[in-house]
């Protein structure tokens, strides 16, 4: 039996911790703490991702710097940044209205949206049996929705939008940056996307969440913890991307997908324990069916592709 190296175990634990940590902290900030500014929160995340990406690549040289080769490539990255912004903002907004457990159940349908977008946007086609495995993915969420005691229609729709946008970005990225000269690893892509996303989010914040900076400063005078919460949440948002890259580097894209399915289940359990949100047996059965569908989809895709 092959022994798993300790660095790999450490990277996976870090990936789980940062993923689940940022989810729980964002939920706490936007719901329990009452910091009702998801767009500003996302902008803080992008600011920190910009800073830490620069430090990691340009100063610490964690990965080699990949330069942008043309204006056309830059335009493609800008477009990806807008889609990325939309996905993250919608995900954070949804945490205002629905529990983390339900958020994760909806998020597990990413393979369904990815398959749909890939089918219509590119010539890539999967075997029909692969598409059939998506039925339990969608069916599980439908069942979970019916059994969700904290269901909120707007929260549900905005979370579905976030999941669809995440899948759309993935497919779009594979199409737009497909040539060898334009391909960027995830760390370099984040280095360029984060500042663009920050510039997009700044006017959106000022328009949608007026006087948020003044309100946050006033809040910090009474409770300095809000500053540390925002800094910690923003740092975790970067480490989600860093550890995601490191897990792929130490294992494989397929292992990352399998670990991601398990991570979602762990996040559901942890969120229920932390926030004690009510969850029905039907809801758990629906989520279990979705995860089973995702696993079947991964296996059939590996076998028939």
Instruction: For residue range 75-130, list pLDDT tens digits in order.
Output: 999 999 999 999 999 999 999 999 988 998 899 888 889 888 988 887 777 788 88
Nearest of 98, 100, 97, 54 to residue 195 by alpha carbon: 54
**Residue 5: what pLDDT?**
74
The conformation of residue 59, written as its DSSP 8-state character, comes to I
Asked if the structure places residue 228 within a domain, the reply is yes
How many angstroms separate the Cα of 157 from the Cα of each of 81, 93, 160, 205, 293?
A: 22, 11, 5, 21, 21
Nearest of 166, 115, 168, 165 to residue 137 by alpha carbon: 115
**Residue 1: what pLDDT?**
44
Residue 7 makes CB contacts below 8 A (sequence gap 6+) with 250
How many angstroms separate the Cα of 294 from the Cα of each of 15, 280, 300?
A: 20, 21, 10
How many angstroms separate the Cα of 232 from the Cα of each of 14, 91, 175, 185?
A: 15, 18, 34, 25
Asked if the structure places residue 1 within a domain, the reply is no
Asked if the structure places residue 17 within a domain, the reply is yes
Asked if the structure places residue 287 within a domain, the reply is yes
**Is residue 290 within 8 Å of residue 140, measured between CB atoms?**
yes
**Residue 252: what pLDDT?**
60
Where the chain has pLDDT below 70, the residues are 1-4, 252-258, 261, 305
Asked if the structure places residue 192 within a domain, the reply is yes
Number of domains composing the chain: 1
CA 169-111-23 angle, 5° bins? 75
Q: Compute the distance between CA of residue 113 and CA of residue 138 in angstroms, rounded to an integer.
A: 10
**Is residue 246 within 8 Å of residue 11, measured between CB atoms?**
yes
**Residue 82: what pLDDT?**
95
Asked if the structure places residue 272 within a domain, the reply is yes
Residue 19's domain comprises: 6-304
């Amino acid at each position: 039996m092959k022994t798993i190296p300790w660095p790999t175990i450490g990277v996976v634990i870090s990936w789980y911790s940062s993923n689940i940590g940022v989810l729980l902290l964002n939920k706490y900030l936007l719901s329990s703490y009452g910091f009702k500014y998801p767009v500003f929160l996302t902008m803080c995340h992008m600011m920190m991702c910009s800073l830490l990406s620069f430090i990691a690549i340009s100063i610490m040289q964690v990965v080699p710097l990949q330069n942008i080769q043309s204006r056309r490539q830059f335009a493609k990255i800008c477009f990806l940044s807008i889609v990325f912004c939309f996905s993250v903002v919608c995900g954070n907004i949804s945490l205002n209205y629905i529990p983390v457990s339900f958020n994760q159940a909806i998020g597990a349908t990413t393979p369904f949206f990815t398959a749909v977008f890939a089918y219509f946007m590119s010539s890539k086609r999967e075997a029909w049996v692969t598409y059939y495995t998506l039925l339990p993915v969608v069916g599980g969420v439908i069942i979970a929705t019916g059994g969700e005691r904290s269901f909120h229609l707007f929260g549900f729709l905005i979370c579905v939008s976030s999941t669809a946008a995440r899948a759309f970005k993935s497919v779009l990225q594979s199409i737009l940056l497909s040539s060898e000269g334009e391909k960027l690893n995830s760390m370099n892509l984040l280095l360029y996307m984060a500042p663009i996303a920050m510039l997009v989010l700044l006017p959106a914040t000022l328009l949608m969440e007026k006087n948020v900076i003044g309100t946050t400063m006033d809040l910090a005078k009474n409770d300095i913890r809000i500053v540390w919460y925002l800094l910690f949440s923003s740092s975790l948002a970067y480490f989600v991307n860093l550890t995601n890259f490191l897990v792929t580097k130490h294992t494989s894209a397929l292992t990352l997908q399998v670990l991601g399915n398990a991570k979602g289940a762990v996040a559901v359990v942890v969120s229920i324990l932390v926030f004690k949100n009510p969850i029905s047996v039907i809801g758990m059965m629906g989520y279990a069916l979705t995860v089973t569908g995702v696993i079947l989809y991964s296996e059939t895709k590996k076998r028939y592709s």
